[in-house]
């Protein structure tokens, strides 16, 4: 029994999207992928970080019968992911090494009983025959493989544990498999499809463009001072700073802390308890900045990261893209700053040269050269980044990178270019950038004296400027294809035909004048909301998150709070129109947020009167007469004697959705046998609590019961009490 029941054709997927997740429209490619999954197609999807990959399997898990198995290497993220989907009313669990034996047994019981819509597991589980046997005993709706690039040896983050996932199709031939990744070249894509044995997959390559991200590269000189300068106007924003070594992580974190930045370090040298504590503090907005090695990159799902800073050069563009992708997941503006110094390439090359496999060494060298080419100026960062992934950027000016937004003048550097290329040719095109810069500046080194390069005409021709200047000229020559750099352990510079045109004065050569410090060209602050109200709502969110022991973004994202502080909703119907407010979250949190908004509006009536009109509801909400096919279908099944869980299973819905139907049917005057849905003892307790605490807050009733009753039961009983009151 491995294949879950397929739902009937669903014409309007925006209805469950809105009801469960509070989103009023799909992002690009999401609906196409979801419909293919509902049609039992295998999927291969490349979607950028923040592009909504998780919804592509979470929504089908709500619509399909059975359990969706999500395979992910992000053990540190699983709890947050599960908390987030549970808050939307989806039944989810995770199963990994962080659970004790008792907890694992409880999860497997829920899985076997058919209670789960989603189960998150780590990839190594599929190397265990016992786990596969368990899965064969339950209805499975879908296998979703997240971070699918980890299965490819050509990818930037190959993980041997992923190879066991080739067993999925072998053991579960009738179950669709959906593979998702944010970073895959065409070569990696082919490798993933082959290794997972995907069957004629529906393939989507979404745009890699993240328009809300601003890309900038700055010269690396006293990097801690420059990072602090960058943070000067960002003290209240969340951000990640990446450093390569543990020592650099500790050094940067200590330096920033000494200047009153709320910061903590994260690296593999810390014990697991400290790492978890520091990550949780960042997730929960207790600190603003985390300084981390790349080990942190895969362990964060925080939506309101406003900046990502690289204090050192990443080893390849895939890593850079994925790490910068942690910024701006909520779709709002974010800044990605890379500090680049040629010294970083020497460090990376050292580790590349330690590789025993010559093929892997060659691949790593090529990827490093591509990363360096991205870091040099003169061409649009976005165009170069997208080009790497095989995507063409059509605009002349992206408007969101330092090159395209800079008003720095273009200066004629033909003379400097001729000095460099003359030195390269006169030394036989057999040396790298460091030696060429030494020759041009007239350095008195043993190597130069032994090679007699102090006797050539261009020796010391550029001694009026420092080596850093000449290294930048070399970078510009490489970027403008006047020079090429050979591969291998000791790369050398060679002059191209175009370079010779510049050398002999037959072509021009201009460079962009560099800024001394990082720019502040992008604002990461959205200005169309009331800041005072936003801060009050943040306090409410922090309190609720603390009570539930979850990160604040699990309750509501910054984007949702921004909309509340822009539109000032004061009724449940108005709050329901805010992005990110689905039915379950409306039930749970309206009693906490609406009074704060109402009090603010009462104290400042002008704020609401000058606010823009609320978005139109997707469909009118009804408290009476829930006429419609979906409610009548539930009503008919209730009359046939089916329970909530049976209706949910047959219709491919959650029990929360069915409970909402029952609530509205009761308010419509339908004769519902209450004892079949809520135990009589629980009814009595809920009624007692409502009479003591009032009818307004569902959360207060659930909390006052010490967890003995749930939101669904409380809603149904409240509807019955209201219906009885209306009859009187």
* Residue at 623 is within a domain: no
Q: What percent of the chain has pLDDT over 90?
A: 31
Q: Which two structure tokens, joined as six digits, stand for 48?
A: 């950028």
Whether the Cβ atoms of residue 196 and residue 488 lie closer than 8 Å to each other: no
Rounded-to-integer distance, Cα 243 and Cα 268, Å: 13
Structural domain contains residue 616? no
Q: Which of 205-209, 363-367, 417-421, 629-633 has the lowest mean pLDDT?
A: 629-633
**pLDDT value at residue 394:** 82
pLDDT at 154 over 80: no
Evaluate whether 43 touches 82 at the Cβ level (below 8 Å): no
> pLDDT band at 593, cuts 50/70/90?
very high
Tokens describing residue 26: 């799909």
Tokens describing residue 21 = 């997740």
Length of the chain counted residue by residue: 728
Structure confidence at residue 623 (pLDDT): 36
- Which candidate, 361, 368, 319, places its Cα nearest to that of 342? 368
* Spatial distance between the Cα atoms of 416 and 470, rounded to a whole number of angstroms: 8
Q: What is the C-alpha separation between 422 and 475, in angstroms, rounded?
A: 16
Place of tokens 């819509």: 117
Taking the CA atoms of the chain, what radius of gyration do you get in angstroms? 29
Confidence of residue 332 (pLDDT cuts 50, 70, 90): confident
Q: Are residues 456 and 472 in the same domain?
A: yes
Q: Give the DSSP letter of residue 662.
A: H
> Which residues, including other chains, have CB under 8 Å from residue 445's CB and lie 6 or more apart?
438
Q: What is the tens place of the pLDDT at every residue in 192-250? A: 999 999 999 999 998 888 889 999 998 888 899 999 999 988 878 899 999 988 999 99
At residue 635, the pLDDT reads 84
Q: Do both 240 and 139 map to the same domain?
A: no
Q: Output the CA angle 619-622-627, nearest 5 degrees.
A: 90
Q: Could you tell me how far CA 714 lies from the centroid of its own chain?
A: 35
Q: How confident is the model at residue 10 (pLDDT cuts 50, 70, 90)?
A: low
> Taking residues 522-549, what's their average pLDDT?
79
Q: In this predicted structure, what is the pLDDT of residue 1?
A: 46
At residue 691, the pLDDT reads 82
For position 7, what pLDDT does the model report? 57
CA separation (Å) from 148 to 49, 60, 144, 161, 409?
13, 19, 9, 12, 44
Structure tokens, 435 = 């030696």
* Residues 145 and 167 placed together within one structural domain of the fold: yes
Q: Determine the Cα–Cα distance for residues 621 and 370; give it in Å rounded to an integer.
A: 54
Q: Which domain holds residue 73?
A: 14-205
What is the DSSP track for 449-484?
Answer: HHHTGGGSTTTTTTTTS-HHHHHHHHHHHHHTTSEE
- Domain with 489 in it: what CATH number? 1.10.10.10
pLDDT tens readout for residues 667-721? 777 888 888 888 888 888 888 888 887 765 666 777 788 768 877 888 788 888 8
Residues 238-292 pLDDT 10s:
999 999 889 999 999 999 999 999 999 998 888 888 988 898 899 888 999 999 9
Tell me if 617 sits within 8 A of 577, measured CB to CB: yes
At 20 the pLDDT is 87
**CB-CB contact of 220 with 340 (8 Å):** yes
Mean pLDDT of the chain: 84
CA distance 536 to 518: 33
Do 646 and 567 have their domain in common?
no
Of residues 24 and 231, more confidence is placed in: 231
508 in the same domain as 452: yes
Q: Is residue 447 part of a domain?
A: yes
| Domain boundary pick from 205, 233, 256 | 205
Same domain, 138 and 18: yes
Q: Are residues 44 and 91 in the same domain?
A: yes
Cα gap 548→570, rounded to integer Å: 25
The residues facing 290 across adjacent strands are 240, 264
User: How many other C-beta atoms are found inside a 10 Å radius of the C-beta of residue 366?
Assistant: 12
The token pair at 607 is 């704020």
**Residue 549: both structure tokens together:** 């022991």
Domain boundary among 574, 609, 644: 609
Residues 508, 636 within the same domain:
no
Among 205, 231, 260, residue at a domain's last position: 205
Distance from C-alpha of 327 to C-alpha of 485, rounded to nearest angstrom: 32
Task: In whole angstroms, give the CA distance from residue 711 to residue 662.
Answer: 13
- Under the banding of pLDDT at 50, 70 and 90, the label for residue 486 is confident
The per-residue pLDDT for range 46-81, each reduced to its tens digit, is 988 777 889 999 999 988 888 999 998 877 778 888
Asked if residue 619 belongs to a domain, the reply is no
pLDDT digits (tens, 9 = 90+) for 536-586: 999 999 999 888 888 888 899 888 998 999 999 989 888 988 989 988 888
CATH of the domain at 604: 1.10.150.80
**Residue 606 CA neighbour count, 13 Å, CB half:** 0
416 pLDDT exceeds 90? Answer: yes
Residue 511 has which token pair?
């460079």
Residue 2 confidence (pLDDT) above 60: no
Look at residue 625 in the predicted model and tell me its pLDDT. 36
Q: Is residue 348 part of a domain?
A: yes
CATH number at residue 329: 3.40.50.300
Band (604; pLDDT cuts 50, 70, 90): confident
Residue pair 13/31 in contact (Cβ under 8 Å)? The answer is: yes
Q: Which two tokens stand for residue 300?
A: 């964060």
Residue 89 DSSP one-character state? T
Do 426 and 489 sit in the same domain of this protein? yes
Highest mean pLDDT among 33-47, 68-82, 360-374, 464-478: 33-47
Distances (CA, A) of 209 to 217, 242, 258, 311, 408: 18, 22, 37, 23, 25
Per-residue confidence band for 728, with pLDDT thresholds at 50, 70 and 90:
low
Domain containing residue 688: CATH number: 1.10.10.1390
Q: Mean pLDDT across the stretch 304-323?
A: 91
* Per-residue pLDDT at 62: 87
Same domain, 275 and 331: yes
pLDDT digits (tens, 9 = 90+) for 508-517: 998 877 655 5
Give residue 192's Cα distance to chain centre: 21
Residues 565 and 416 both lie in one domain? no
Least confident among 348-357, 392-401, 632-641, 698-707: 698-707
DSSP state at residue 183: -
Alpha-carbon span 576 to 586, nearest angstrom: 7
User: Residue 520 domain-assigned?
Assistant: no
Whether the per-residue pLDDT at 615 is higher than 80: the answer is: no
> Encoding tokens for residue 343?
């010294």
Find the mean pLDDT for residues 143-171.
Answer: 83
Based on the fold, state whether residues 122 and 259 are members of the same structural domain. Answer: no
Helix axes 317-324, 358-375, angle to 10 degrees: 60
Burial of 155 from C-beta contacts in 10 A (0-12 / 13-18 / 19+): buried
Residues whose CB is less than 8 angstroms from the CB of residue 219 and which lie 6 or more positions away in sequence, other chains included: 339, 340, 341, 468, 472, 514
* Range picked from 121-130, 298-307, 483-492, 589-598 for highest mean pLDDT: 589-598
| 670: number of Cβ within 10 Å | 15
pLDDT score at 45 = 94
User: Residue 525: what pLDDT?
Assistant: 44
3-class secondary-structure state, position 699: helix
Beta-strand pair 510-512/410-412: antiparallel
What is the pLDDT at residue 360? 78
- Count of domains forming the chain: 5
φ/ψ (deg, to 5) at 365: -65, -45
């Amino acid at each position: 029994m491995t294949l879950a029941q397929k739902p009937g054709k669903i014409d309007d997927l925006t209805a469950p999207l809105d009801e469960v997740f509070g989103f009023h429209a799909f992002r690009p490619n999401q609906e196409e992928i979801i419909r293919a999954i509902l049609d039992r197609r295998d999927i291969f999807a490349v979607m950028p970080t923040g592009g909504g990959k998780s919804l592509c399997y979470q929504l089908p898990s709500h619509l399909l019968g059975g359990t969706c198995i999500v395979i992910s290497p992000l053990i540190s993220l699983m709890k947050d992911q599960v908390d987030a989907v549970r808050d939307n009313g989806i039944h989810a669990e995770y199963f990994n090494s962080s659970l004790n034996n008792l907890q694992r047994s409880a999860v497997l019981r829920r899985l076997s009983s058919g209670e789960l819509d989603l189960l998150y597991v780590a990839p190594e589980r599929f190397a265990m025959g016992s786990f596969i046997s368990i899965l064969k005993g339950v209805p499975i709706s879908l296998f979703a493989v997240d971070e699918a690039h980890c299965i490819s040896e050509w990818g930037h983050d190959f993980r041997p544990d992923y190879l066991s996932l080739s067993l999925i199709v072998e053991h579960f031939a009738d179950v669709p498999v959906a593979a998702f990744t944010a970073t895959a070249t065409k070569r990696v894509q082919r490798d993933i499809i082959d290794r997972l044995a995907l069957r004629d997959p529906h393939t989507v390559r979404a745009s890699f463009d993240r328009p809300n991200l601003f890309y900038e590269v700055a010269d690396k000189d006293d990097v801690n001072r420059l990072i602090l300068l960058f943070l000067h106007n960002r003290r209240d924003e969340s951000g990640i700073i990446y450093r390569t070594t543990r020592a650099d992580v500790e050094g940067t974190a200590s330096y920033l802390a000494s200047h009153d930045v709320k910061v903590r370090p994260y690296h593999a040298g810390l014990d697991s308890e400290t790492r978890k504590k520091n990550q949780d503090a960042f997730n929960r907005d207790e600190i603003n900045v985390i300084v981390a090695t790349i080990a942190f990159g895969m362990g964060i799902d925080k939506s309101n990261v406003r900046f990502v800073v690289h204090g050192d050069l990443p080893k390849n563009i895939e890593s850079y893209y994925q790490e910068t992708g942690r910024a701006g997941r909520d779709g709002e503006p974010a800044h990605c700053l890379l500090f680049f110094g040629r010294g970083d390439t020497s460090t990376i090359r050292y580790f590349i040269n330690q590789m025993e496999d010559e093929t892997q060494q060659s691949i790593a060298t090529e990827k490093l050269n591509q990363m360096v080419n991205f870091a040099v100026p003169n061409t649009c960062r976005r165009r170069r980044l997208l080009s790497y992934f095989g995507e063409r950027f059509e605009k002349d000016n992206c408007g969101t990178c330092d090159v395209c937004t800079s008003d720095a003048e273009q200066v004629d550097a033909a003379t400097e270019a001729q000095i460099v290329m003359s030195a390269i040719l006169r030394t036989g095109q057999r040396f790298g950038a460091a030696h060429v810069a030494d020759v041009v500046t007239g350095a008195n080194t043993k190597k130069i004296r032994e090679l007699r390069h102090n006797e050539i005409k261009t020796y010391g021709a550029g001694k009026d400027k420092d080596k850093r200047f000449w290294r930048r000229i070399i970078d510009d020559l490489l970027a403008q294809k006047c020079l090429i750099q050979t591969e291998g352990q000791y790369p050398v510079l060679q002059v191209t035909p175009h370079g010779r045109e510049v050398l002999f004065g037959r072509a021009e050569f201009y460079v962009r004048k560099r800024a001394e410090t990082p720019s502040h060209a992008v604002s990461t602050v959205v200005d169309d909301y009331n800041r005072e109200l936003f801060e009050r709502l943040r306090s409410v969110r922090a309190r609720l998150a603390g009570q539930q022991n979850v990160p604040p973004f699990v309750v509501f994202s910054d984007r949702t709070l921004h909309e509340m502080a822009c539109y000032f909703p004061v009724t449940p119907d108005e709050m329901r129109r805010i992005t990110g407010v689905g039915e379950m979250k409306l039930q749970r949190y309206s009693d906490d947020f609406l009074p704060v908004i109402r009090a603010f509006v009462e104290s400042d009536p002008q704020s609401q009167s000058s606010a823009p009109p609320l978005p139109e509801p997707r469909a009118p909400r009804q408290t009476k007469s829930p006429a419609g096919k979906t409610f009548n279908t539930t009503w008919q099944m209730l009359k046939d004697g089916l329970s909530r869980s049976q209706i949910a299973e047959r219709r491919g819905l959650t029990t929360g959705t069915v409970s909402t139907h029952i609530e509205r049917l009761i308010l419509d005057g339908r004769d519902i046998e209450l004892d079949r849905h809520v135990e009589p003892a629980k009814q009595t307790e809920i009624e007692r609590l409502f009479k003591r605490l009032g009818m307004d807050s569902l959360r207060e009733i659930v909390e006052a019961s010490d967890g003995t009753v749930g939101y669904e039961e409380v809603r149904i009983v409240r509807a019955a009490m209201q219906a009885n009151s209306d009859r009187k």
